[in-house]
Amino acid sequence: MKLGRYLRVSIVCLLFVAALSNVMAQSAPASRTVVIRAGHLLDVKTGKTLANQTIVIQGDKIASVGSDAQIPAGAQVVDLPNATVLPGLIDAHTHLTMTTNFGYSRLGISVPREALTGARNARVTLDAGFTTVRNVGASGFSDVALRDAINAGDVPGPRMLVSGPPLSITGGHADNNLLPFEYHATSDGVADGVDGVRHMVRQDIKYGADLIKFMASGGVLSKGDNPQASQYTQEEMKAIVEEAHRLGRKVAAHAHGAQAIRWASDAGVDSIEHGSYIDDAAIAAMKKNGTYLVPTLYLSDWFLENAEKIGTPAELMAKARDVMPAARKNIARAFAAGVKVGFGTDAAVYPHGLNAHEFAVMVKLGLTPLQAIQASTINDADLLGWSDKIGTIEPGKWADIVAVDGDPLADVTTLERVKFVMKGGEVVKNLYVK
């Protein structure tokens, strides 16, 4: 008897759930449909510019692309007849919660203030056409908070993959080296030894990191360290990468010096950031290991012209005058050698929103305009592990789309003047509307 009663009750419950689901399905609003009619569309895979393309967007994803696509009834239509449309741009090296502040005054900036600064910089970056960024370093997990606020719709900004505090040796680049001993000041990500770095990788992931960033060499905008000197040992680098990859996180290594580049590449990092003193042996290691190079080149133009005006300490200026010109010469050799290239800017060393100035420098150093654009689309999508989500305008991808006047293959600086931005099917900027 009890079994029969349970069966009857179960059947009634299932019927109720089915009926409720049917009512909810009927009452739920259909996904919004948006159609972009593009006069020109750059296929970043082939380099071909296609004329008169119709992009049908259902909800936050692209449903179809083609010259003969039908416009669904009731769709919102965005006409861009004279523009060139291309995928939303990607910047794989940003610091949205930071600003151009390199001296002792940075000690007065709290983590909550960094997060609020990030909200401002996120909007500026999105308006510049960068719909996805990889944020590689922030204090106190302020970038995690910013990412989550953007994802929740609390503030506008690009999609973010974030590292939280980068790993650094004691006294190295990313440690707090500005205060004297009696303050006992140490930055969030400082970790030494194999056990120490394994613990720090786990801690970063515990508090929300999407990837791991570590300082393989000294840096430029930090006190008391040498950009050409390796910081972590190769054993420590291997431990970082093994732990991160085992836990499903990619790894970015800040590395200026040639030895640090080789060690980090051989340890299995996914990308080398900066690569200023890359040499033939480091190039060979990166090609063998399939490591991406994310050069950050335009920053030297802005920094060498403006940094003294904003009170940058003399020690940092001296390092910058040595490293930045050398980086351009060495990166040009890496480009010519065929190293895999991602697009990154180190925005925060110069004002956010100028990210697209990087394209012209990449072209000046040997890439074609198409190769530079591919670095910021299909290459960065691969580096981030999001090739199935971003990087091209194809069915099934997120509807992250930008548009510019003119032909970026003829003049890559047109990307510095993005006039239309869509993220996830939502138009966030349209200067074509009068």
> Per residue in 191-237, pLDDT tens?
999 999 999 999 999 999 999 999 999 999 999 999 999 999 999 99
Query: Which percentage of the chain shows pLDDT scores above 70?
Result: 93
Identify the pLDDT of residue 292.
98
The helix-helix angle for 234-246 and 193-206 (nearest 10°) equals 30
- Bridge-based pairing of strands 271-274 and 292-294 is parallel
Identify the pLDDT of residue 284.
98
Rg (CA), the chain: 24
CB atoms within 10 A of CB 184: 8
214, 174 in Cβ contact below 8 A?
no
Q: For residue range 48-81, what is the model confidence (pLDDT) as tens digits? A: 999 999 999 999 999 999 998 788 889 999 999 9
User: What single-letter amino acid sits at 409?
Assistant: L
What would the two tokens of residue 397 be?
């991808």
What would the two tokens of residue 36 be?
């972009």
Instruction: Pick 40 or 1 by higher pLDDT.
Output: 40
Q: For residue range 300-318, what is the model confidence (pLDDT) as tens digits? A: 999 999 988 888 999 999 9
CA-wise closest residue to 54 among 28, 31, 81: 81
Q: Enumerate the active-site residues.
A: 213, 346
What would the two tokens of residue 94 be?
């940003």
The arithmetic mean of pLDDT across residues 421-433, rounded, is 97
> Is the pLDDT at 7 greater than 70, yes or no?
no
Beta-bridge mates of residue 85: 41, 403
Identify the pLDDT of residue 207.
98
Which helix (H) or strand (E) covers residue 53, if one does?
Answer: strand 49-58
CA-wise closest residue to 352 among 98, 139, 103: 98
Identify the pLDDT of residue 200.
98
Q: For residue range 347-379, what is the model confidence (pLDDT) as tens digits? A: 999 999 999 999 999 999 999 999 999 999 999
Burial of 216 (C-beta count, 10 Å sphere; 0-12/13-18/19+): buried
Identify the pLDDT of residue 309.
87
**Residue 343 backbone dihedrals phi, psi, to 5 degrees:** -110, 125
**What is 54-102 written as a DSSP string?**
EEEEETTEEEEEESS----TT-EEEEEEEEEEEEPEEEEEE-TT--S--
Q: For the chain, which domains are there?
A: 33-87+393-430 (2.30.40.10), 89-384 (3.20.20.140)
Q: For residue range 385-407, what is the model confidence (pLDDT) as tens digits? A: 999 999 999 999 999 999 999 99
Q: How far apart are the first and last CA of the chain?
A: 74
233, 213 in Cβ contact below 8 A?
no
CB atoms within 10 A of CB 29: 5
**Distance (Å, whole) CA 138 – CA 156:** 19
User: What single-letter amino acid sits at 374?
Assistant: Q
CA-wise closest residue to 299 among 125, 93, 137: 93
Q: How far is CA 295 from CA 275, 340, 343, 398, in A?
A: 6, 11, 7, 26
What would the two tokens of residue 55 be?
């992009």
Helix-strand-coil percent breakdown of the chain, rounded to 5? 40, 20, 35
**Distance (Å, whole) CA 117 – CA 139:** 12
Identify the pLDDT of residue 25.
38
**Residue 370 backbone dihedrals phi, psi, to 5 degrees:** -65, -45
98-101-104 Cα angle (round to 5): 120
Identify the pLDDT of residue 17.
37
> Is the pLDDT at 8 greater than 60, yes or no?
no
CA-wise closest residue to 167 among 134, 211, 108, 112: 211
Which helix (H) or strand (E) covers residue 291, if one does?
Answer: none
Identify the pLDDT of residue 11.
39
What would the two tokens of residue 220 be?
């430029």
Q: At which residue do the structure tokens 């290239």 appear?
A: 341
Q: At which residue do the structure tokens 């970026």 appear?
A: 408
CA-wise closest residue to 276 among 229, 204, 225, 228: 228
Q: How far is CA 325 from CA 93, 271, 301, 304, in A?
A: 20, 22, 10, 10
- For residue 168, name the pLDDT band (cuts at 50, 70, 90): very high
Identify the pLDDT of residue 107.
86
Which helix (H) or strand (E) covers residue 198, if one does?
Answer: helix 193-206
- For residue 105, name the pLDDT band (cuts at 50, 70, 90): confident
Q: For residue range 228-270, what is the model confidence (pLDDT) as tens digits? A: 999 999 999 999 999 999 999 999 999 999 999 999 999 999 9
> Is the pLDDT at 181 greater than 60, yes or no?
yes
Average pLDDT, the chain: 92
